[in-house]
Amino acid sequence: MRFLPLFLHRQSHHLHHHKPTIPKTNNTLFKMAQLPPLPEVTSLTPSITRILAGNPSKFTLQGTNTYLVGSGPNKILIDTGDGKPSWIAALKSTLSSSSATVSKCIITHWHHDHVNGIPDLLSAFPGVKIYKHRPDYHNPSNVPFLDIADGQEFDVEGGGRLRAVHTPGHTEDHMVLQYLLEGEQGGLFTGDNVLGHGTAVFEDLSSYLTSLSKMKTLVNGRAYPGHGPVIEQARERIEEYIRHRQQREDQVVQQLKAAPNVPAAAGGQVGGEKGWTLMGLVKVMYKDVPEALHIPAAGGVIQILKKLEREGRVRVREDGGGGEEEDRWVLVEQQGGTGAGRGSAL
């Protein structure tokens, strides 16, 4: 199944309140071992070269993808990887073999596996300008980022331009880059909102869904994700992501509707009229996955509950106990059925 490895991504950002998704089955390591290997440097089109950051792990698939864009000698670099020596070495040799350099670098979002290569980049190419949306957002090492406005365009040497589009979800500062180029050679650099394998983790479900819908309108052909292989049918993949999120949401609604026969195995939590606690829901919805994964799963379920709450479709019972863990979630009865308001963020 495809919804596996990236839930683990969360743990690498644990301190930053990263919200996880959850795998469908429990043979995660087996599946991850099956990821097809990607070469360190690949010329994907005459104007796009992918360089792997050398940081493969259960958190990052085959490692972070960085991309050189442009067919002229002054390239734009997208993302910088995790600071591994192999990455800067591969970047330098790729560029010197074509007598090229990096003039600009665009960062898709603040996560360490995308920004940690910046010091190496700056020492190799001191003149490079580095751009990121919201320069001060999670910037502990005070990288001198130049801001990127939503819709800002960057001319690409050799033809075309990159248009940055603010697409929060995976992170708040997240930008995708639409490569506007004559003919079929453009595409969408999706950052970590959409990946080459599995599903992505997200910080905020509503804005993530809005961003996915927006991204669908930005691409016809290929997408170049922050991790994993090139996505040939980008629009279909994005639709798949949206469907997957909708299925999870439907599961939560179904469970909230379910009668109060909560198994004793659900920790004595009571459903139905009295409402469901978060962990009560998780224990039933994810009864097929190891209990060790219930906490990460809860991060995704609370996101769904908060989205439904904003839409007026669920609420917390007022007579619940203290604290979020004791909150008891119930469906809001609606005229004309509980489907009202559905998908309003789509």
Name the site residues for Zn ion (rule: CB under 5 A): 113, 192, 226
Report, in Å, the least distance between residue 114 CB and Zn ion: 6
Report, in Å, the least distance between residue 195 CB and Zn ion: 8
Report, in Å, the least distance between residue 217 CB and Zn ion: 23
When the beta carbons of 31 and 227 are compared against Zn ion, the nearer one is: 227
HSE, CB side, 13 Å, CA atoms: give it for residue 131.
21
When the beta carbons of 113 and 249 are compared against Zn ion, the nearer one is: 113
Which of 113, 192, 204, 327 does the annotation list as catalytic? Answer: 113
When the beta carbons of 111 and 166 are compared against Zn ion, the nearer one is: 111
When the beta carbons of 120 and 192 are compared against Zn ion, the nearer one is: 192
DSSP characters for 143-194?
A: --PBP--TT-EEEPTTS-EEEEEE--SSSTT-EEEEEE-STT--EEEEETTS
d(CA 217, CA 319): 44
Which alpha helices (DSSP H) does 160-312 contain, by range? 205-216, 234-257, 278-285, 294-310
H or E element that contains 91 = helix 85-97
H or E element that contains 96 = helix 85-97
When the beta carbons of 61 and 100 are compared against Zn ion, the nearer one is: 61
d(CA 69, CA 79): 11
When the beta carbons of 160 and 296 are compared against Zn ion, the nearer one is: 296
H or E element that contains 29 = helix 28-33
d(CA 236, CA 240): 6
> Tokens 């591994």 identify what position?
84
Whole-angstrom CA distances from 186 to 39, 161, 167 are: 22, 9, 19
CB atoms within 10 A of CB 118: 22
Known active-site residue 113? yes
Could you list the active site residues? 113
